[in-house]
Amino acid sequence: MARLGPNGGAMPGQLRHLRFVLDRERQEVIMYSDDVMMVPAGAEPGQFGVPVGGGACRDYSNVQNGSLVCPSVHPPVSEMHLRVVELVVWPEASLEVRCWHRQNIGSPALGLKDSEVPPLEDQIRIAANILWQQAIQTERKAAVQWEDSWGFLRAERQDVPGALAHSSSAGNLVDTEGMSRSQALMGLRLNVPRDRFRKPASTQQELGWRQPLERGGLRFNYGLKHDDGIWPLADIAPWPARAAHMAVPLPDGARISMRRNGDIWTCVPWPLREHLQPHVPQLPGALVDCRHEAEVSSFAEQLLLQPHAARMGNAAARGEKVREAYIKFFVDKKKHDFVQSSPVVPLSDPTLLFANAGMNQFKPIFLGQLEPNSPLQGVTRAANSQKCIRAGGKHNDLDDVGKDVYHHTFFEMLGNWSFGDYFKEEAIDWAWELLTEVYGLDEERLYASYFGGDEELGLPEDLEAKELWLRHLPESRVLPFGKKDNFWEMGATGPCGPCSELHYDRLGSRDAAALVNADDPDVIEIWNLVFMQFFRGDDGRLTELPNRHIDTGMGLERVTSVLQDMRSNYDTDIFGPLLAAVHDLVGGEPYEGRVGADDVGMRDTAYRIVVDHARTLTMAVADGATPSSEGRGYVLRRILRRAVRYGRSKLDAPPGFFSKLVPKVVESLSPGFPDLTKAAGERVQGILQDEEVAFDRTVDRGMQFFDGLKAELEKEGAKVVPGDQAFLLYDSHGFPLDLTEQMALESGLSVDIAGFEAAMEQQKERSRAALREQQAQEQGLRPLQLVAEQTAWLSDEKIPVTDDLKKYTWNIRPSARVEAIYTQQGFVNSSAEIKDQSASVGIVLNTSPFYAEAGGQVGDLGLLTNEDGEELMKVKVVQVFAGYVLHVGPMPVTCAVGDEVFCEVDYEHRSKVAPNHTMTHVLNWALREVLGDGLDQRGSLVTADRLRFDFSYEASSGVSVADLEKVETLVQKTVDAGLPVTSKEVALADAQAIYGLRAMAGEAYPDPVRVVTVGSPIEEVLQSPGAEKWRAQSVEFCGGTHIATTSEAKHFVLLEEKGIAKGVRRIFAATGAVAETALEEAQRVEKRMNELESSSVEEDALMALQKDLDSLVLPAVPKSQLRDRLGELRKQLKKKQKKKKKGKVSKEEQAAALTELKEAVAEAKSLGKNFCVKTFQGAGVDGKSLREAAQGGEFDIAVMVLNQPSPKALECLAAVPEALQSEKAAGKWVQAALATVGGKGGGQAAFAQGAAKGVEEEALQVAAEAARNF
């Protein structure tokens, strides 16, 4: 160890004992030995073995080589300590010595007379001189500044050779705010930058100070002594040591190395990290030997000392233990049901991009829409750890991640819920019990907030919650806040209520009430308890919920940081292994935990971004999402590109580094989420690897775009990158603004930030407008919904849920009784009470044969009539809410509660839907037969004209035409075989035992569950469920309507197969008359193809055939084959054209192209579009023709022409009428299209053109897609 013995010995025998003492009150670990004392600041003499000596030192000025020489002292100074000095490492990268003077320390106890006690300032001078000597010895220069608690005594020293004057303000040196210890404080600071405070370069040794605090620092307590007893500072590397001479690593990579004269000793660091010695809770006073490096590894395996560990049942406060303790407390002790976390990708909630809170999967309960056969039916108490992502929509933490030490895009939400069971009292008492008794948090550091009332809401102060908290906390720590902080709402409408938050003061020993909800990093919210007792209606009015609920949420990462006494979530064991894995991949400096201005080069920011985003992407992709160009896929793509960009630019990471983190993420998260298997991780890693490679190509194209833009600016003499161009780089190439600013700076340019933000806001407004339009359309389709208030009213009125078992029976006309009539204004007794004759009306019946929309199948259509068959109401929409089937349609002729009506389902419509549904099952089975077991259903949609089926499939090229043909043949054979289709409700456990059963991954199924088989009847299957033969037929969970035999489908054709995201494919198919028509069209087109192949090839004939192939609904296999044959004909035509003399396109060809363009424009207008993008394989329309046509008034919408005269070249032209130029200026439109393929262009708002060279073959379609999305 570094110079512990009086004679500088290095053998273990000369080191007697190194003690690690836990000061429970101050939450600090103190290290000291028999030779050099390391004691807490302000320690009482003898309290921790401080020796009692005699004599006095009256000469404090002679400092030689880091030693205090006190010639008049008897006995020698080495036998005593003058005073306790505390060394503090500050985040500002400075060193500071603090001398703490406790008023109650009596000098006689030190063996000194009052007159002989060295003045505090003299003691500081002694410490300063020693530190100066060390600074000088290590070729460093330093300055000293005096300070005290209430003001600073400025006494800059310049009498030391090489010392620098210190000129920074005194106000930022010591955090004296809130100090509760009764001492005077005087100290000094040596302003030595951390990155310079190293030993000479020849030794390659570095301090690398740990800095867990933004205010304050990591404290090592030293006692001053005679005879070279102070260790040279440059020889000490605090945890986690960064020195090149690092010795044996402790668990989790924590190390401390203290070195002198070539002998290395490795000691357990502060705050001793990994293993808890059984007897440590008996501290203070426990002895721990510090052994030589050969023995330290086994020693380290025996010890963990953390501030709260002893109060957690002597178990480490590791993240997985924190999660386990939470669930065990509520499940075992408080009798909650454990409900597995839902997938982070919501399967049945289109309003969410990602699951962002634990309550998401319980929304049907809160909204009163839980189905009677739901697996959650009957659950009154629940607890779990929900995987959450907040990276889009209302809750979006993406841009904050990395900038601080507590934001995440992926996190775990510990939660407990009550559904109409317990309420405020139990929620508050149990929260207190868990935090203080199970987790062992210091009660003095906890604060509770409650709702202080709101006049606008008409709600008084939540005195009930306040009084409940006062049973545990003094009134000074029970604080009222307004609705912003303490009133929770699910949305603009729906369940809501007051909430109560628990806040924790990381520092303690002070009154931190003023810092609650003040965004102070040291006083943080750790748990939110929501008391869901109101419902906000469409009119904004609050009404009492019929059943009150509890919804709580506590972030695992944050509470773990509290329990591990870390000010940063990233310093916990949850992130430690991931940060180490990043360092292994990138090399260089390891993670230091720096933020803001301290994080020079943003290296630590990049570390945090990379590990956070790796967790997010791993979990999201494992749960079924994939990076793509829209929706949640686009959010994931942005996240991945952000992580890769920071890794590459700030950490100098090698290409392909990011996906290599997936196995470590799986290892970290799989204990809490067993569905995150190694196999799932391998699939995720492959997807992210491909996406990373694709991003590299995008970056290259973006750099090309920037180079072109820079050249244009230089030509114009401009020095500012326009904001809309910076936004184009951001939107099309994934270049964040700071990267564009960096590239601009390197080129001597700046960026128009205001213009960028304006373009960003315009895009957001377009998105909001699109969302409003979508919501309006949805409202048109679904004008009425029953939520908690309505379903509770129905239940209170003793109206039973609708008996809808008749939906599985065909061709019936049953009678039913009207139980309720509902409009936007509420329930009425008769249609005569409805004032608005255009309003939609929902009718609840006691029984119904209508199939309500569910499981991807559209609902039935039909009529409600009277006994004589006279129409009362057209049924346009059928939906079910909490078991109540709502039949929605226009205003009925006459209808009243209690009336008898007759239900007439449109069975002709259902007879088109049902075959598509049954063939979706058969298609699922056939895909598995042909492509193997590695695919899973990702979604489906069944309508009257076609079916859509999404599935996971890793082949980057998609499903081959040959495999599609095999799949189609298998399904058609099943149709031709006329196999029976049977269904039955089966106990869930029995159904899951069926060999070869197919089910949606992550979907929660009811018990019992309906099973549908195609082939052997379900009764036969259940007799021997484990038989492997059932794999040879379709067996699925399903609650939809089906045909009786497969022959009713008549025909089956695959219409299209395409990728919708990385690793996810989509198939469109059809049955019956639609399939028959598609087959007939294919035969007709093939006949034309045969005729073309046997005659002279002409461009117009090929173009007409191409148009048919693009527009007609044809089977996918023959369409692909026809495209190949058309391609061969084009090659023949090109060879023919090459024989012609080179020159301009003929007038006839140009006229033909212009005619084709006009037809495309007319078609776009007929579809209600205000733009048209037309592509030409070949010369197409030239600029002159387009300009003349536009100026002649032939186009009143925006027109873009993309010509591909050769495989490697692309031309782009655009003409925009004046009325549309503010929305779609031609110049910007052309730039946006060409940016995606590395081209450039420009022009005015009315007309523009550009080109791209050396492009890929698919450039034409890529540019066209970008143009359509502009």
Q: Which residues contribute to the annotated binding site?
A: 917, 921, 1038, 1042
How many CB atoms within 10 Å of residue 339? 21
Residue 721 has φ and ψ, to the nearest 5°, of -75, 120
Contacts made by residues 131-136, CB under 8 angstroms, sequence distance 24+: 131/95, 131/97, 131/190, 131/233, 132/63, 132/160, 132/163, 132/190, 133/63, 133/64, 133/65, 133/66, 134/66, 134/232, 134/233, 134/234, 135/190, 135/192, 135/233, 136/160, 136/161, 136/162
Structure tokens at 16: 């007697």
- Tell me the C-alpha distance between 882 and 660, whole Å: 45
Residues in contact with 198: Cβ distance below 8 Å, sequence separation at least 6, in sequence order? 138, 205, 206, 207, 234
Burial, 289: exposed, middle or buried (Cβ in 10 Å; 0-12, 13-18, 19+)? middle
- Tell me the C-alpha distance between 644 and 651, whole Å: 10
- Tell me the C-alpha distance between 1063 and 950, whole Å: 10
The helix (run of H) or strand (run of E) holding residue 356 is none
Q: Check: CB of residue 406 under 8 Å from CB of residue 569.
A: yes
- Tell me the C-alpha distance between 1171 and 1233, whole Å: 14
Strands 1171-1177 and 1198-1206: parallel
- Tell me the C-alpha distance between 411 and 821, whole Å: 44
Q: Check: CB of residue 481 under 8 Å from CB of residue 517.
A: yes
Structure tokens at 1089: 């193809």
DSSP assignment of 657-680 equals TGGGGHHHHHHHHTTT-TTS-HHH
Q: CA distances (Å), 708 to each of 58, 703, 715, 722, in order?
A: 76, 9, 11, 13
Residues in contact with 61: Cβ distance below 8 Å, sequence separation at least 6, in sequence order? 125, 129
Question: Which residue's structure tokens are 């995987």?
Answer: 387
Q: ∠ at Cα 785 (782, 790), nearest 5°? A: 165
- Tell me the C-alpha distance between 297 and 289, whole Å: 13
**How many residues are given for the chain?**
1270
Beta strands in 261-317 (DSSP E): 263-266, 287-288
Residues in contact with 589: Cβ distance below 8 Å, sequence separation at least 6, in sequence order? 242, 603
Name 451's bridge partners. Answer: 481
> CA 385, 390, 391, 393 torsion: positive or negative?
positive
Residues in contact with 513: Cβ distance below 8 Å, sequence separation at least 6, in sequence order? 447, 476, 477, 479
- Tell me the C-alpha distance between 882 and 874, whole Å: 23
- Tell me the C-alpha distance between 1243 and 795, whole Å: 66
Q: Check: CB of residue 872 under 8 Å from CB of residue 781.
A: no
- Tell me the C-alpha distance between 425 and 1159, whole Å: 71
- Tell me the C-alpha distance between 1049 and 971, whole Å: 10
Annotated binding residues for Zn(2+), as ranges? Answer: 917, 921, 1038, 1042
Residue 186 has φ and ψ, to the nearest 5°, of -135, 145
Q: Check: CB of residue 316 under 8 Å from CB of residue 306.
A: yes
- Tell me the C-alpha distance between 470 and 473, whole Å: 5
